[in-house]
Amino acid sequence: MLTYADRLRAMRNTKVRHTLEKRKQNGYTDLDDFGTVPISEGYSVEPWYNSTNGSFYGYDGMCENFCRVIDAHEPYIDPMEMLCGRWRDMLVNYRGDLHYMPDWLKNNEKIMEFMKSATNQWSKRWDEQRFPYDDLKPNQKKYNIATGIDGDAHFACDYRIGFELGFGGLLEKIEKYRKINPDKKAFYDAEERTVKAIIRFVERHCEKLREMIPAEERPEIKENLQTMLKTCENITYGAPKTFREVCQWTAFFNCASRIYTRDGAGFQLDGLLYPYYENDVKNGILDDETAKFLVANLLLIDPHYYQISGVDENDRDMTNKLSYLILDAADSINIACNLTVRMHENCDKEFQRKAVYYLIKNKNGWPRFCNDKALAEGYMKNGVDKKTSRERIAVGCNWMCVPGKEFPMNDTVKINIAKVLDEALKDLKNCDEKSAEKLFELYESHLKIAIQTVADGVNLHIDHAWEVTPELVMNLMMNNTIERGEDISQCAELYTVGVDGAGLAVVADSFGAIETRIENEKLVSWDNLFENLENDYADERVRTIMASAPKYCSGGSASDKWAKRLTESWVTAVKAQKMPKGRQLVPGWFSWSRTIEYGSNVGATPNGRRAAQPISHGANPNPHFRNDGAPTAQSNGIASVQCGYGNTAPLQIEFDPMVKADEHGIDMVLKLIEGHFEQGGTLININVLDKQKLLEANENPDTHPDLVVRVTGFTAYFASLSPRFRQLVVDRFLTGF
Amino acid sequence: MADAVVADIQRASTHDGPGFRTTVFFKGCPLSCAWCHNPECISFEPQILEYPEKCIGCGKCADGCFAGAKVLCGKRMTPAEIAAEVARDKAYYGKDGGVTFSGGEPLAQRDALSECIDECKKLGIRCAVETSLIYYDEEIFKKLDLVMADLKIWDSATHKKYTGVPNERIIENFKKVNSLGVPVIARTPVIPGVEQGIPQISAFLKTLENVKCYELLPYHPLGKSKRQALNMAEDEFSVPSAEFMEELKQYAYIR
């Protein structure tokens, strides 16, 4: 008889096989795994285009193509699992933006032929024919801005809405409000068809299960399939009632939201699932081992970002028995689990120790840790009440969101401040007065223009997203949407739009090196610097002089002071930006994984960085920031550059694999986390990696297809990363702790 | 106020005592252990470590090297400056961590050490030393939270052969420190090929009630590259095998 452990092993092996197969189909992705399974043989979608530029938009375009893609998805049932459903493909793949197209789709001649025949002068994700922004493009390019225009989702659903209603209840809700808002027919038609397509997806799983059950000979697996069928039948229309049903419902909904635009976000996993757990245990239909297996299964199906632990609006600890089981479940499956532990002084300390224990023991980059105090109090500074601020949970790579209420566009909007510095340096060259202060003045004036450009782009996106990419799936579990017949982009309660700066360490170290080496020590002249910036440091001595100036995170250096000053300036400028209709911008520091791409657009910088080299990662220091690479020094530095309005400047840290999963090791890691949070840090992503394994996998990724690394906020299978990206992770690790 | 000559300050050290520690390496040591893994801390004077592989051939050595080919080791710091650096990691020390004054032999700069301890204590930071116990300084030892001391070789003549000094005074100082009541962690670096008398050392230490722990530390080849950088003769030692360490494990203890 197969035990849960046997089945989990089999599920993990299948996951490894899928990872390798997907790499064959998609090439290197440099992305989160997203829980997809490989494209099956004969899979094909005929997209419907409603724009002459070879794309589709709006309620009808998105809805029709969602139905086509989800209908093309075969049911996914692994008899080892207790839950079913997976996703393979998403409709935005068919929008003809070659940059986003997976390799397997590029091999589809029919699709490619159509793409070539379509007008190619506009972006395919954003409908530029109707909503052009040519006026913004020069500055967007100049400051290397990730605009957020055409970005999708990056907000969080309130799953309680779906859990309460089920798919049938959502249909009824649509019908009810359709009558109240007869002028919103296009919206309600699209939402109704969307829910019905999800229901068909569930029904196909039921049909497939009915076929599979008679042929299954292993009694325990047969029984599993029968229960799976019953579960799917119960939730095809009905609201989930049991723990298994609520997990299965989540799995189906998440598959649908991924198929839509790959996005979606998690929720407070221990909080929302606890009533179902408690009830089933009370009724004697659920034991802890089964609950653990179900959670592990859910985490396998979709690596959404889930938060666990934390405190409620009255500062009461929310850690419960399920919080512990979730950690145990993640341990039992030990894949790319994006669990974030919310820390607060009132939270269960034993739970935090256990979380750290699993981080060290498994060396798979989970869980992550976020700081309630800095996040909630910071968010309140945007004029939001305490209760709502507490609801703002860790559901994304670097970001937080109030489920159901907020439209933050988080992680889609960025300014490469190294590029802003680049522009300021060009101006300074022509100035008579040359000083760090003058450079800073020029930098700030360019930054102001960059932020205005960002604001214009954000407003364009929010004003028209409903006509381009309405969020038909996620709208189902947002406040106001169905009630008003509006897309969430039109009716969110909170528009606290995240804007991240990227390249902090490059800029801080550049100012620091100028102050130290040019102004104080007079080792290099301004002319000499400019000559070397232009010829990409032909003089290696000048480069080493500039590069060896004490860096940001070394502790008490000029660059440390500049990092703080740059943060103050960044926060002031972002918060000062005027926004219409109650919208506001919220500052953070984060580069996502764009360090290579961003670096390629920036010339040589005064910190000794050569042209086109990667920029620094997130809020992290540059490599070799101290000889001892002290994580405490890094932690202090990053704590000192927090923007303070509830968005993050994450501490991304690589930890020595010599740290053991014993009391001493746990103490050490916990002290680092607590020390960072005491000083105002917001989010910590820790990699505890085995050096040997990492180097072997870098040489040949197939030797360790199960190796997971936390790249930025997201985790990825190392085997799916491109050689250049793998090297970046390895370099970061080797210069780490 | 007495300045200290410091070779380096390492933060977030996890190898020089309990918890997160900042280790201050004092320069200068009256011993010259043949296997020393901090050979740059033997001389009391500032020295240049040379790493020719990093040389960029600019020919401007006299104006200072920034490429890392010539690295100055040894800097004068006031106790207040040292304490300020140590205090940077206060948030991580907790109840166990703190500062470790190491070297070299920190007690060889006793006045500076004493003031460093006072400055750190004022900031509420726990203080430890790593010492050869060649010196006994009651005033200093009484101020410490922990003493980490080496007893490297039991036989005095062998001790002298490998470290340059006999060990009678060290053994005597172990007894004196023990009588102060300060917790002591005793350690022996395990050097294959040297008759160290670890069983005898262990038996002796067990008679001292305040020696809370006896650790055996495998020889670390870290010193080799630094000896090269200092133009010193190479040492002939090698890392002990796991089997050898396993055999010796019976002599280590915690109580």
pLDDT in tens, B78-91: 999 999 999 999 99
Is pLDDT above 80 for A153?
yes
**How many Å apart are CA A657 and CA B239, to the nearest integer?**
20
Provide the percentage of residues in chain A whose pLDDT is more than 90: 77
Instruction: Give tens-digit pLDDT for A384-431.
Output: 999 999 999 999 989 999 999 999 999 999 999 999 999 999 999 999
3-class SS of residue A312: coil
Instruction: Give tens-digit pLDDT for B85-135.
Output: 999 999 999 999 999 999 999 999 999 999 999 999 999 999 999 999 999
Would you call B10 and A679 a contact, using CB atoms and an 8 Å cutoff?
Answer: no
Give the number of C-alpha atoms closer than 13 A to the C-alpha of residue A351, restricted to the C-beta side: 25
Select from A170, A238, A161 the least CA-distant residue to A206: A238
A–B: how many Cβ contacts below 8 A?
Answer: 75
Q: Which of A632, A636, A655 to probe by mutation at the B interface, max B CB count within 10 Å?
A: A632
Q: Classify the complex by whether its ipTM is higher than 0.90, answering yes or no.
A: yes
pLDDT band of A657, cuts 50, 70, 90: low
Q: Which residues of A touch B18 (CB under 8 A)?
A: 664
Q: Which residues of B touch A675 (CB under 8 A)?
A: 89, 91-92
Is pLDDT above 60 for A736?
no
3-class SS of residue A717: strand
What's the rounded mean pLDDT across residues A603-625? 95
Would you call A633 and B8 a contact, using CB atoms and an 8 Å cutoff?
Answer: no
pLDDT band of A506, cuts 50, 70, 90: very high
Bridge pairing between strands A145-147 and A413-416: antiparallel
* pLDDT averaged over every residue in chain A: 93
Instruction: Output b/e per residue, A589-627; b: 16+ Cβ within 10 A.
Output: bbbbbbbbbbbebbbbbbbbbebebbbbbbbbbbbebbe
pLDDT at A713: 67
**Second-level CATH architecture of B4-254:** Alpha-Beta Barrel (3.20)
Q: Which of A353, A540, A640, A668 to probe by mutation at the B interface, max B CB count within 10 Å?
A: A668
Strand partners, B237: none
Q: How far is B10 from chain A (nearest CA, A)?
A: 6
Q: Contact B244/B192 with Cβ under 8 angstroms? A: yes
Is pLDDT above 70 for A260?
yes
Would you call A540 and B10 a contact, using CB atoms and an 8 Å cutoff?
Answer: no
Select from B187, B192, B196, B255 the least CA-distant residue to B215: B187
Phi/psi class of residue A357: alpha, beta or left (left: φ > 0; alpha: ψ in -120 to 50)? alpha
Q: Which whole-number Å values give the CA distances from B11 to A189, A474, B33, B147, B226, in the listed order?
A: 62, 47, 25, 19, 20
pLDDT band of A120, cuts 50, 70, 90: low
What's the rounded mean pLDDT across residues A509-516? 98
Q: Contact A155/A266 with Cβ under 8 angstroms? A: no
Q: Which residues of B touch A633 (CB under 8 A)?
A: 11-12, 88-89
Q: Which residues of A touch B91 (CB under 8 A)?
A: 632, 636, 674-676, 678-679
State the angle between helix axes of A321-333 and A4-26 in degrees (0 to 180), rounded to the nearest 10.
Answer: 60
Instruction: Give tens-digit pLDDT for A423-473.
Output: 999 999 999 999 999 999 999 999 999 999 999 999 999 999 999 999 999
What's the rounded mean pLDDT across residues A636-650? 98
Residue of A nearest to B9 (CA): A628
**How many Å apart are CA A681 and CA B77, to the nearest integer?**
31
Is pLDDT above 90 for B142?
yes
DSSP state string for A201-247 = HHHHHHHHHHHHHHH---HHHHHHHHHHHHHHHHHHHSPP-SHHHHH
Residues 6+ apart with CB under 8 A from B57: none
Phi/psi class of residue A682: alpha, beta or left (left: φ > 0; alpha: ψ in -120 to 50)? alpha
Instruction: Give tens-digit pLDDT for A161-210.
Output: 999 999 999 999 999 999 999 999 999 999 999 999 999 999 999 999 99
What's the rounded mean pLDDT across residues B214-243? 91
3-class SS of residue A301: helix
Is pLDDT above 90 for B136?
yes
What's the rounded mean pLDDT across residues B237-252? 95
pLDDT at A110: 79
pLDDT band of A310, cuts 50, 70, 90: very high
Task: Please count the helices (runs of H) and the strands (runs of E) in chain B.
Answer: 9, 11
pLDDT at A118: 67
**How many Å apart are CA A356 and CA A366, to the nearest integer?**
9
Nearest to B89 among A627, A632, A659 (CB): A632
Residues 6+ apart with CB under 8 A from A371: A343, A676, A677, A680, A681, A682, A683
DSSP state string for B85-149 = HHHTTHHHHTTT-EEEEESS-GGGGHHHHHHHHHHHHHTT--EEEEE-SSS--HHHHHH-SEEEE
**How many Å apart are CA A41 and CA A49, to the nearest integer?**
24
Q: Which residues of A touch B89 (CB under 8 A)?
A: 630, 632-633, 636, 675
* B30 secondary structure, DSSP code: S
DSSP H/E element including A370: strand A368-371
pLDDT at A735: 62
* B197 secondary structure, DSSP code: -
| Cα-only R_g, chain A | 26
**Which of residues B223 and A182 earns the better pLDDT score?**
A182
Select from A382, A623, A567, A590 the least CA-distant residue to A502: A590
Q: Does B12 touch chain A if contact means CB atoms closer than 8 Å?
A: yes
Give the number of C-alpha atoms closer than 13 A to the C-alpha of residue A607, restricted to the C-beta side: 30
3-class SS of residue B187: strand
Give the number of C-alpha atoms closer than 13 A to the C-alpha of residue A183, restricted to the C-beta side: 2
Residues 6+ apart with CB under 8 A from B12: A628, A630, A631, A632, A633, A737, B20, B21, B22, B89, B92
Is pLDDT above 50 for A707?
yes
Q: How many residues are recorded in chain B?
A: 255
Would you call A678 and B20 a contact, using CB atoms and an 8 Å cutoff?
Answer: no
The ranges assigned to domains in chain B are 4-254
Would you call B13 and A628 a contact, using CB atoms and an 8 Å cutoff?
Answer: yes
What's the rounded mean pLDDT across residues B235-246? 93
Would you call A628 and B10 a contact, using CB atoms and an 8 Å cutoff?
Answer: yes
Q: Which residues of B touch A636 (CB under 8 A)?
A: 88-89, 91
What's the rounded mean pLDDT across residues A136-141? 98
Instruction: Give tens-digit pLDDT for B18-56.
Output: 889 999 999 999 999 999 989 999 999 999 999 999 999
Q: Which of A521, A543, A628 to probe by mutation at the B interface, max B CB count within 10 Å?
A: A628
Hey, how many other C-beta atoms are within 10 angstroms of the C-beta on B60? 12
Would you call A541 and B8 a contact, using CB atoms and an 8 Å cutoff?
Answer: no
Instruction: Give tens-digit pLDDT for B180-211.
Output: 999 999 999 999 999 999 999 999 999 999 99
Is pLDDT above 80 for A737?
no
Would you call B67 and A541 a contact, using CB atoms and an 8 Å cutoff?
Answer: yes
Q: How many residues are recorded in chain A?
A: 737
pLDDT band of A122, cuts 50, 70, 90: low
What's the rounded mean pLDDT across residues A661-675? 91
Would you call B11 and A633 a contact, using CB atoms and an 8 Å cutoff?
Answer: yes
**How many Å apart are CA A64 and CA A534, to the nearest integer?**
53
3-class SS of residue B82: helix
